[in-house]
Amino acid sequence: MGIAIIGTGITRFGELWDKNWEELVLESTKEASESANLDLTEIDSCYVGNMNLSRFEGQDHIAPRINEILGIGKVVRSEAACASSSVALKLAFNELELASLKKENKVILVIGFEKMTDRVTQNATEILASASHYDTEVINGATFPGLYGLLASRYLHETNAKEEDLHAVAIKNHKNAILNEKAMFRKEINLEDFKLEVASPLKLLDCSPISDGSASLILTTEEYARQLDVDYVKLECIELATSSISLAKRNDILVLDSAKRASETAYKKAKISPKDIDVIEIHDCFTIAEILNLEACNFAKRGEGYKIVRTLEPYEEINKRKPPIPYLIDGKEIYVNTSGGLKAKGHPVGATGAAQIVEVANQLLGRCGKRNVDCKIGAALNIGGTGGSAVFSILKRPW
């Protein structure tokens, strides 16, 4: 028996000026508890992932504030930059595995959120940069667009990929987001829109946006999920890996080592190969990240991820297709970022990991409406920074 996701909730992602972070947390959590048909009082403990409420909003010590909002008596906060709420989910998974072995009925809430657009005393990009190596990267002026710009430069230099291959990732994800009412950007973009350069070779539209949002998950043991008689998906496994934080310390700058290790361990545990996956949310904070992460998750060899993107060719015609748009990987249609991804759904950093799982769980449960695809096995890859942290999850239908 395993771990069950019985509730999912997510706010709209975007510049949500009319809501504060507490309202966002409450909104996604209410949606999750309603979908699980559970009252908040039935929750035993909570893990909350948030990157930096302290610098965005002045508030550290998030756990007891969550207690004030939701009344939960045991709350733990984890931080791993953009992978903060995936780490929270991993911790919840550990606690539930223990509960399952001890034959305890336990219900755990996982929340991921970030409020990035209000009261920013510092530039948001400057706050986010704190997730790279402060003393060598940040202090010398690095930002995340800059660091991913370096990765993209090197990738274009070493491989036959072209800037258009990067842009095609964004065009696909924007197209997918049109069917996601919670997404931040629900409009098509085209190759000719990639004009404004942010960090060569990355254009503005190669970058995910600064967003507000919250996502919540309710989990329990499979045994208890059956007792509760609620629909659920199995969180088959969730694997965490930590790597060096700075690009300079990587053996191979183009291999996101943590994502590679996390996914390999997960595949082994779940006894599946990448090709068994039908739908996956892959961390695409920048378009180059989706390509590097496709490689790290073993959908392609090093330096060949762009060839997967090329299955969308001709890029001028992506928008003529009906979303969600799959990649063709070794002859199989695999859906990557049906939600729109970080690129178009939005990237409230602490929320992203939980939001990915919300999407994949809802795909498996058939709750994604017009963007639902035929799927039995789903996955998610969430990374922090330039890949210093990675969490890879595999979800399955129990039926």
- Among this protein's residues, is 347 annotated catalytic? yes
Residues 169-228 that bind a copy of itself (CB under 8 A): none
Two structure tokens written together for 259: 């994502």
Is residue 120 a contact point for a copy of itself (CB under 8 A)? Answer: no
Say if residues 158 and 306 touch (Cβ distance below 8 Å). no
Q: Which residues partner with 395 through β-bridges?
A: 235, 378
How many Å apart are CA 155 and CA 152, to the nearest integer? 5
Residue 9: enclosing H or E segment and its boundaries?
strand 3-10
Window of 63-71, 192-200, 220-228, 330-338 that interacts with a copy of itself by CB under 8 A: 63-71
Q: What's the full length of the chain, in residues?
A: 399
Residue 15 backbone dihedrals phi, psi, to 5 degrees: -90, 90
Select the residue interacting with a copy of itself from 26, 43, 131, 291 (CB under 8 A): 131
Give Dmax over CA atoms of the chain in angstroms.
58
Is residue 250 a contact point for a copy of itself (CB under 8 A)? Answer: no
Query: How far from 370 is each of 72, 105, 180, 188, 356, CA to CA, in Å?
Result: 35, 35, 9, 17, 18
Residue 292 backbone dihedrals phi, psi, to 5 degrees: -65, -35
Q: Which residues partner with 237 through β-bridges?
A: 394
Q: Which residues partner with 202 through β-bridges?
A: 199
Catalytic choice (174, 347, 368, 375): 347
Is residue 57 a contact point for a copy of itself (CB under 8 A)? Answer: yes
Select the residue interacting with a copy of itself from 135, 229, 252, 317 (CB under 8 A): 135
- Among this protein's residues, is 133 annotated catalytic? no
Window of 124-132, 217-225, 352-360, 368-376 that interacts with a copy of itself by CB under 8 A: 124-132
Say if residues 348 and 184 touch (Cβ distance below 8 Å). no
Select the residue interacting with a copy of itself from 134, 158, 227, 321 (CB under 8 A): 134
How many Å apart are CA 90 and CA 152, to the nearest integer? 30
Select the residue interacting with a copy of itself from 42, 76, 204, 319 (CB under 8 A): 76
Shortest Å, Cβ 232 to a copy of itself: 21
Is residue 330 a contact point for a copy of itself (CB under 8 A)? Answer: no
Catalytic choice (46, 82, 297, 375): 82
Q: Which is nearer to a copy of itself, 242 or 298 (CB)?
A: 242
Select the residue interacting with a copy of itself from 3, 4, 40, 66 (CB under 8 A): 66
Query: Would the CA dihedral through 381, 385, 387, 388 be positive or negative?
Result: negative
- Total residues contacting a copy of itself by CB under 8 A comes to 57
Catalytic residues: 82, 347
- Residues near a copy of itself (CB under 8 A): 51-52, 54-55, 57-68, 72-81, 87, 90-91, 94-95, 97-98, 101-102, 130-135, 138-139, 240-246, 249, 258, 261, 384-385, 388-389
